[in-house]
Structure 1
């Protein structure tokens, strides 16, 4: 059930400043402010460039923006189907516990099924017990035995130049 007064809408190009603000707030919560370097223009290119590389929605409660989700489609070769990868979901702290996060994930699950996806996946920081408990309440389970690997910055450039 969607909470009363909640609207989930696709992000529009004019939402780039709002998305940048939400991402900075998420980064502060996750103690990763130093990694949140995306600009409003970066979000415009990511979401509305040619081709768009990701999608986003804005959660509004009582007409005010209170959260967002950003996702993209990956591929599962084992399933031979697309996967919806949830990059970020954020609900402002004052609005948590009202069913907004659950409504966002329900919307994303519907999008995943409509796109023929075999699964939805996302990452969560291992110390974020409230988020982990919330994900378990949705029926999500950790991917045992796997760890996320990352190449970025100088290491990415060095490999590309080799």
Structure 2
């Protein structure tokens, strides 16, 4: 039986987090999209007032002598005006390929659901790429439902700067 442990990230995990982010980017077919480095991770996730938080999933060795990081999740709290409550938004969830099937992804999702409940959140949301059938099937098996009426939009820094400085 595999023993898994979920814990909050620490500043010492910055390299592990960056490695997981890079592996996720490769999996999502965007290997060159990662601009973050360990300094960015330190400054954003471990500052005095972080706006995002993270979890590490570790697998215990057979003899219990060591813990091996096998996955992570990054999340933050948003707000629903209709519910008048915060929500928990899962930014990234990743489990290394060799550890898939051990229950790490489900353990991370369940841990986050409990964090959302403990914080009186009205929603727990995330996005998944349309082509990522294994993830979609996994999320639906956990009870998540796709949002079919919403379309995500994004501005990158260049678009934000152009828009913010544009004349009306």
TM-score normalised by length of structure 1: 0.96
* Structure 1 stretches of 4+ moved >3 Å: none
* 1:125 matched residue in structure 2: 129
Q: Distance in 1 between matches of 2:158 and 2:110?
A: 38
Structure with higher helix content? 1
Q: Name the structure 1 match of 2:54.
A: 56
Aligned match of 2:150: 146
Q: RMSD between aligned alpha carbons? A: 1.0
Any unmatched runs of 5+ in structure 1? Answer: none
Number of equivalences: 160
User: Does the 8 A contact of 2:2 with 2:102 survive in 1?
Assistant: no
Unaligned runs of 5+ in 2: 61-66
Provide the residue aligned with 1:23 in structure 2: 21
Contact 2:90 2:125 in 1 (8 A): yes
Find the aligned partners of 2:101 and 2:114 in 1 and give their Cα distance. Answer: 21
Q: Which residue of 2 aligns with 1:85?
A: 89
Q: Which residue of 2 aligns with 1:136?
A: 140
Task: Provide the rounded CA distance (Å) in 1 between the counterparts of 2:79 and 2:9.
Answer: 23
For 1:70, the equivalent position in structure 2 comes to: 74
